[in-house]
Structure 1
Amino acid sequence: MELNHVITDNGGDPNQFQKQPVETVTSPQPHTKERSKPNLLYAINDNPPWYLSIFLALQHYLTMIGAIVSIPFILTPALCMSDEDPNRGVIISTMIFVTGIVTYIQATWGVRLPIVQGGTISFLVPTLAILALPQWKCPPENEFNAMDEGERNELWQIRMRELSGAIAVSAMVQVILGYTGLVGKILRFVTPLTIVPTVSLVGLTLFEHAAETASKHWGIAVGTTAMLTLFSQVMANVTVPFPVYRKGHGIEIRKFLLFRLFPVLLTIGIMWGLCGILTLTNVFEEGHPSRTDVRLKVLTNAKWFYVPYPGQFGLPSVTLSGVLGMLAGVLACTVESISYYPTVSQMAGAQSPPLHAINRGIGTEGLGTVLAGLWGAGNGTNTFGENVGAIGVTKVGSRRVIQWAALIMLLQGVIGKLGAIFIMIPDSVVGGIFCVMFGMIVAFGLSTLQYVDLRSARNLYILGLSMFFPMVLCRWMQQHPGAIKTGNDTLDSTLSVLLGTTILVGGLLGCFLDNIIPGTAEERGLIEWANEMPLGDDNINDGTATDFDFPAGMETLRNWKWTYYVPFLPTYKLQKQS
């Protein structure tokens, strides 16, 4: 038995760390190899002290807030809302509130990985395609200005009801795929050469968004990236003296891994403060996008207290074109999340996700998207790649931290002023963070290539085509939305959405080519990949993957034999253990 070392906390004290021998986690599947856990400050089941967890959770919150807030700012103009409409804040609060609910359910009872669920760019593409249909186009400016407040509210709310119905109904496909276990059946076709383009294209597709925010001030953006690199990589092992009071001993000075635990939080705080100084001294002139008061109106217009509720904008409406168009986002998110699960489990020091956890994770994600639709968030939910990157940067994979982050989101969703404060983070600072986080998503996707034979001309062909062709085709489709003309508007919009989503096109192309072009299992990386994500029926639950058991009620489930046949329960297929 090989012994490895991970860094763990000493008696729950975050200021002292020592190496403890831990037993290597091995898979019981054929062709197994011993795999040590990564060097983590806190692994998936570790519980940092509550006060430390709050700061670590706040770091995750700050990582996702820029991305999740950017979605309503793109969405609301398409809904025909004016820039001064205070309901923009309501939509933002609703999205973050639902994110908190779904994140807590997913981390506690769903897939039970330390992942954040939230709004996704994948749903924006079909959303904008739906709102571009003739019946949903915004009226001319002169007509809009002539409307009273009630007419303006109905103008955007009827569009929100259309989106809400499309999102909620299309997400039922994801719910069915997960909770019935159908998603497990397709795992045999999700190979490393499917994962690579799907995950990598997320980061590559987002480069324009990162560039747009960073370009607001390249000096601030580059400084943010450089500072985050300095803190998270160069100074990761530098300790800082920290006074601690111990009963009976008085105040003691202990060493604290400040830069390793809070690189994102420190970077945002310092660069945000710098922008504040440049704002006060008028180095940034009035109206400069990097001024800290550029979104001051968002803060003043935000409500102090508001609890979002289902149907707050009216009863959702359902149309075939809306549901079919939004289905593209649902399918893209499903493939993307399946790609993230083994990556996150490895990063968090967890066991390989068994079939029941994957089924439950996808089903719960679909349920979260249904809730987002019913609440009127204008978007669905998906695993946040930015927070996956944050785990890699901070080396903190604790499930408890994500649960605290979910509570912060719920609190922010209710107290509008609190969320508005973080919305005021300058775009250039957010852009600098994105340059690191999106780059790490690309790197994590490419890391899956370690399982395949890169000397194989077959694999290189599939990799090159599945990465490059979607970037060419999807970019062209987005620039020419009316290119497809079959005579049926519903079919036209659906095909435009499908062919305009890079992660969907790349993932399906890689999956199709890898499964039809002849190649050995070893060449395709299936043998090595099975150690991380056993495929299909080979992923049999033998009771050892306890990281994914429910936090309560497991003894009762094991005593009920019928639970062995329910695809989303931790006892699924337990009877097949040897």
Structure 2
Amino acid sequence: MEDKESHRYNPKTDMYTGSGIVNPAHSTESVQLKSITPRLSNSDLHEPNPTEKPQKISKPTSPQNGGSDVFGLCCSSSGHVPVARKQQKEDSGVYDVGDGGGDDDDDDDDDVRKKGHTAMENQLGIEYAVTDVPPIHMCILFGLQQVLLSISSTISIPLIVSGKICADDLTLVKSEIMSTFLFMCGVCTLLQVLVGVRLPIIQGGCHKFIPAIAALMALDMWKCPADMVARVAAYNNGSTENVTEIWQSRMREIQGGIMLASLAQVLIGCTGLLGILLEYLGPITIVPTISLVGLSLIDVALMFCEKHWGITALTVGLVFLFSLYLRNVKIPFPTFSKKTGCRVIKYPLFKLLPVIFAVVLAWVFCAILTATDTLKQPGVRTDSKTNVLELANWFFFPYPGQWGMPTISVASFMAMLAATITSIIESVGDYYACARISGVPPPPAHAVNRGIAIEGLGSLISGAVGSGGATTSYSQNVGAIGFTKVASRWAFFAAGIIFLISGLCGKFGAFLTMLPDPVLGGIVLVSFGMVTAVGLSTLSFVDLSSGRNLTIIGSSLLVGLMIPRYLADHPNAIDTGNVELDQVLQVLMGTAMFVGGVFAFFLDNTVPGTPEERGIIKWRELADVGTTGDVIKGDEQKEKQKAADYLNNIYGFPLLTNCLNRVACCRFVPFMPSFAFKRVSPFKWLCKKFKNTN
């Protein structure tokens, strides 16, 4: 039942509080209705006699379910107020999930959840927002959907590292390294979702470390013995020759470099060095940084797609079918409860689980072609990766120091440090892209600092355990939010649990890696495209009629694509005379988002331009207020408090934010939610000056 106080008539404002009813005698243009999406034209509004009393408003319907976006306005061309669908459907016993008005608790919870969404979340069609908690069974499906997107890319890292450390022919060793890596991906994902930036982020294996590991293992002291194959063969045949120390010594060298580089990442996050740079970060810098995350991964998508373009096209077509064409189609399900008895509900499965449906159908299609011996290519046939299933252990529990005490050297540290810096840049871009695609405000400085620190901590633990690599945020999982419409952090928490189970039960993780490459390529293609589009959508903040902005953005995108491509074709182009410095520059300049982002950052902060022209005003308002216009201006103090509570609910520590806010010294800790250290910022000064002049 509706609260009567929520529709009390206020004669001063000539409107009903909480309902959005506006007296038709007044111009609707004078009232801020930023939370109404999409905007209604005057022809869509019913205009009764101004002397009539406003009608009592019934419970609103969700815009995603075909109802009006305006609660309380006399809308629709027929001129009637929307009525709760329970009254329309109770005779048939069929209910749409989220329509509201039903007696079932799940319907009421779903209706309350959608009413609590912000305007941006409703505009993007988000079904489960960042702070929403889906049912447990749906969390598992959503988590599995995210794992399917990332596990094949993740599992390739331990297999590559095994070859670099001379363990390519040691089946049991490869199985243990793979289980360790999957286990650590789960640990790092849980840490990031619960304590880190607290956005829906998957922490998977970082491929940026592969060139560094390859360069390190190419040194004369770490090259595999010439007779390694013969030694392994003799060892497998029962020889007493010990080959364990050969690969473990190389693994310990990799561990030491990763741990030192990760410790530097923790210090960068905890000291707030990155947060200071964010003061000078605007939308013109964000556009090429995020867009180049997707554009630079074309080769990764191509590596999977080129195995079989027909199956790739089938997978992409299925994703489009379920996520775009059938997104409003709801599947009826019979349910039973003691309160309502037997009845049928409708659920938008195609909209929420497009990846799982697409993967299952394409996987079955590949299995049929494999059974008929139509497919010949490795990686396309469903039985081409059965060796991974065979070498995996049933149960394995990794622990720190399982391969011995890590060793430290300058060469390993410098090689891993370059990859770590690149990973930090990529993760910051993913944080902003994730916030944008999830319909929440950009992450504040303390959340970014904490996210980078937790990512470094996770990689530090990964190095201590001996997974053979570090972790970073996965862009394809961020992009998947755009077409699954599931941004709940608890779905990604479930994904972390699945990663943990995959590591502890090696057979389960190995089964997921049997996904055919072109099927994964189709999913990755759509996800990377979504990441690129999210970056370009940030252009809405800037003045696109400005030649200054167009020049900076266009040049940054092209430079970000050209320099890495040139270095890939000319690997010896950088020659400073110092091998370690050459490796660092090679990795940094070979990263598209670093080159394009730094180029745009420099030009945007040095080329003259007004704050409004650069989009700084709108960008800072969105970051500072955080409610995207959902609060109609009234009591300014209450608005600020509501905005602060909203941001704390997303980026603050669970259950501890209120306690930490009472501790004065937390204001000076860069990763605390109450971080408010006063710095002289030109952007804040310009914003205040611009507001005072108006």
TM-score by structure 1 length?
0.90
Structure 2 residue 517 is the aligned partner of structure 1 residue 431: no
> In 2 relative to 1, CA 574–399 (structure 1 residues): closer, same or farther, beyond 3 Å?
farther
Q: Which residue of structure 1 lines up, in the alignment, with residue 145 of structure 2?
A: 59
> In 2 relative to 1, CA 232–21 (structure 1 residues): closer, same or farther, beyond 3 Å?
closer
Q: Deviations over 1:26-45 (max 9, x none)?
A: 9xxxxxxx997642211111
> In 2 relative to 1, CA 201–350 (structure 1 residues): closer, same or farther, beyond 3 Å?
closer
**Which fold has the larger relative contact order, with Cα–Cα distance below 8 Å and residues 6 or more apart in sequence?**
1
8 Å contact kept, 1:193–1:463: yes
1:184: Cα distance to partner? 1.2
Q: Deviations over 1:437-489 (max 9, x none)?
A: 11111111222222222333322332233222233222232343333333322
Q: Which residue of structure 2 lines up, in the alignment, with residue 47 of structure 1?
A: 133
Query: Residue 397 of structure 2: SS of its match in structure 1?
Result: coil
- Alignment partner of 2:667 out of 558, 561, 564: 564
Equivalent residue letter for 1:274: F
Q: Which residue of structure 2 lines up, in the alignment, with residue 103 of structure 1?
A: 189
8 Å contact kept, 2:422–2:588: no
1:393: Cα distance to partner? 1.1
Q: Distance in 2 between matches of 1:35 and 1:232?
A: 17
Cα RMSD, aligned residues only = 2.9
Structure 2 residue 106 is the aligned partner of structure 1 residue 13: yes
Structure 2 residue 328 is the aligned partner of structure 1 residue 237: yes
Structure 2 residue 265 is the aligned partner of structure 1 residue 179: no
Gaps of 5+ in 2: 1-31, 37-61, 65-96, 236-240, 626-639, 680-694
Q: Which residue of structure 2 lines up, in the alignment, with residue 127 of structure 1?
A: 213
Q: Which residue of structure 2 lines up, in the alignment, with residue 516 of structure 1?
A: 606
Equivalent residue letter for 1:345: A
Q: Which residue of structure 2 lines up, in the alignment, with residue 77 of structure 1?
A: 163
Equivalent residue letter for 1:216: K
Structure 2 residue 466 is the aligned partner of structure 1 residue 380: no
Equivalent residue letter for 1:255: K
Higher mean C-alpha displacement, 109-118 vs 75-84: 75-84
Higher mean C-alpha displacement, 112-121 vs 475-484: 475-484
> In 2 relative to 1, CA 575–444 (structure 1 residues): closer, same or farther, beyond 3 Å?
closer
Q: Distance in 1 between matches of 2:105 and 2:277?
A: 42
8 Å contact kept, 2:192–2:451: yes
8 Å contact kept, 1:6–1:19: no
Q: Distance in 1 between matches of 2:146 and 2:231?
A: 43
- Alignment partner of 1:89 out of 148, 152, 175: 175
> In 2 relative to 1, CA 477–77 (structure 1 residues): closer, same or farther, beyond 3 Å?
farther
1:221: Cα distance to partner? 0.9
- Alignment partner of 2:654 out of 551, 563, 566: 551
8 Å contact kept, 2:121–2:438: no
> In 2 relative to 1, CA 132–574 (structure 1 residues): closer, same or farther, beyond 3 Å?
closer
> In 2 relative to 1, CA 168–386 (structure 1 residues): closer, same or farther, beyond 3 Å?
same
1:234: Cα distance to partner? 0.9
Q: Which residue of structure 1 lines up, in the alignment, with residue 8 of structure 2?
A: none
Question: Between Structure 1 and Structure 2, how many residues are aligned?
Answer: 564
1:558: Cα distance to partner? 3.1
Q: Deviations over 1:123-155 (max 9, x none)?
A: 333333333334333444x55334554654433
Query: Residue 171 of structure 2: SS of its match in structure 1?
Result: coil
Query: Residue 545 of structure 1: SS of its match in structure 2?
Result: helix
Please show how residues 146-545 of structure 1 align to structure 2 within 5 Å.
146-147=231-232, 148-149=234-235, 152-247=243-338, 249-285=340-376, 288-533=378-623, 542=644, 544-545=646-647
1:21: Cα distance to partner? 7.6
Gaps of 5+ in 1: 27-33
Query: Residue 48 of structure 1: SS of its match in structure 2?
Result: coil
> In 2 relative to 1, CA 544–426 (structure 1 residues): closer, same or farther, beyond 3 Å?
closer
8 Å contact kept, 2:166–2:224: yes
Q: Deviations over 1:85-110 (max 9, x none)?
A: 33222222222211111111211122
Q: Which residue of structure 2 lines up, in the alignment, with residue 30 of structure 1?
A: none
1:562: Cα distance to partner? 2.5
1:20: Cα distance to partner? 7.4
Structure 2 residue 246 is the aligned partner of structure 1 residue 144: no
Query: Residue 189 of structure 1: SS of its match in structure 2?
Result: coil
8 Å contact kept, 2:462–2:470: yes
Q: Distance in 2 between matches of 1:153 and 1:464?
A: 53
> In 2 relative to 1, CA 139–481 (structure 1 residues): closer, same or farther, beyond 3 Å?
farther
Higher mean C-alpha displacement, 517-526 vs 105-114: 517-526
Equivalent residue letter for 1:358: V
> In 2 relative to 1, CA 426–23 (structure 1 residues): closer, same or farther, beyond 3 Å?
closer
Query: Residue 345 of structure 2: SS of its match in structure 1?
Result: strand
8 Å contact kept, 2:174–2:391: no
Q: Which residue of structure 1 lines up, in the alignment, with residue 201 of structure 2?
A: 115
Query: Residue 121 of structure 1: SS of its match in structure 2?
Result: coil
Larger Rg: 2
Q: Deviations over 1:272-319 (max 9, x none)?
A: 11111111222224x643111101111111100001112222222222
Q: Deviations over 1:102-125 (max 9, x none)?
A: 111211122111111121223333
8 Å contact kept, 1:321–1:494: no
8 Å contact kept, 2:254–2:468: yes
Equivalent residue letter for 2:300: H
> In 2 relative to 1, CA 404–143 (structure 1 residues): closer, same or farther, beyond 3 Å?
closer
Higher mean C-alpha displacement, 364-373 vs 526-535: 526-535
Report % sequence identity: 39
8 Å contact kept, 2:290–2:433: no
Q: Which residue of structure 1 lines up, in the alignment, with residue 80 of structure 2?
A: none
Structure 1 residue runs of 4 or more that deviate by more than 6 Å after TM superposition: 34-37
Q: Distance in 1 between matches of 2:230 and 2:491?
A: 47
1:24: Cα distance to partner? 8.1
Q: Which residue of structure 1 lines up, in the alignment, with residue 83 of structure 2?
A: none
Q: Deviations over 1:508-562 (max 9, x none)?
A: 2221222222222222222222134459xxx999555222222223343233323
Query: Residue 186 of structure 1: SS of its match in structure 2?
Result: helix
Query: Residue 279 of structure 2: SS of its match in structure 1?
Result: helix
Q: Distance in 2 between matches of 1:268 and 1:54?
A: 16
Query: Residue 243 of structure 1: SS of its match in structure 2?
Result: strand
> In 2 relative to 1, CA 125–205 (structure 1 residues): closer, same or farther, beyond 3 Å?
farther
> In 2 relative to 1, CA 197–134 (structure 1 residues): closer, same or farther, beyond 3 Å?
farther
Query: Residue 327 of structure 2: SS of its match in structure 1?
Result: coil
TM-score by structure 2 length?
0.75
8 Å contact kept, 1:210–1:431: yes
Equivalent residue letter for 1:447: S
1:506: Cα distance to partner? 2.0
8 Å contact kept, 2:543–2:613: yes
Q: Distance in 2 between matches of 1:476 and 1:36?
A: 43
